[in-house]
């Protein structure tokens, strides 16, 4: 980033130097992202799974196998934090509608989740410690 700004400065008048202004804007965006990450880290707490108690309920870190009662499709997800979530890797955040619905539930429970395609029901088939 610093190299890009230095190179743009070398091109002359900064008032009409698009490369310079683009590099400075990118630098500002990067600095804002750094502040956002630092804030999240300052508010974070390390959670030891063994300290979470009952292994028979869904909680942070659980691997949960659910059955979509409409389509009979089974899926397994790990319940993770907001910054770790990646639906393509079967990890869902505790802050998502399905994550919130699953928390503190037990095997055999049925949860309702309001999805973009409407209300869906899922049965919890299995809960594992990850």
pLDDT at 115 over 90: no
pTM: 0.63
pLDDT at residue 116, rounded to an integer: 87
The domain ranges of the chain are: 2-43, 50-128
Task: Return the CATH class of domain 50-128.
Answer: alpha beta
Digit-coded pLDDT (tens) for 48-104: 655 555 678 998 889 999 999 999 999 999 999 888 899 899 999 998 999 999 999
Digit-coded pLDDT (tens) for 36-49: 888 877 776 666 65
Q: Are 20 and 9 in contact (CB under 8 A)?
A: yes
Q: Are 125 and 67 in contact (CB under 8 A)?
A: yes
2-43 — its CATH code?
1.10.287.180
CA–chain centroid gap for 97, Å, is 12
């Amino acid at each position: 980033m610093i190299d890009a700004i230095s190179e743009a400065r070398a091109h002359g008048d900064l008032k009409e130097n698009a490369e310079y202004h683009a590099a400075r804007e990118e630098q500002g965006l990067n600095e804002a992202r750094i502040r956002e990450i630092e804030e999240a880290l300052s508010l974070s707490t390390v959670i030891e799974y063994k300290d979470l108690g009952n292994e028979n309920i869904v909680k942070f870190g659980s691997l949960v196998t659910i059955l979509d009662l409409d389509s009979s499709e089974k899926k397994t997800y790990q319940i993770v934090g907001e910054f770790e979530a990646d639906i393509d890797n079967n990890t869902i955040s505790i802050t998502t509608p399905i994550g919130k619905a699953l928390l503190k539930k037990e095997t055999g429970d049925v949860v309702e989740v309001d999805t973009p395609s409407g209300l869906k029901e899922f049965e919890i088939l299995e809960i594992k410690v990850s």
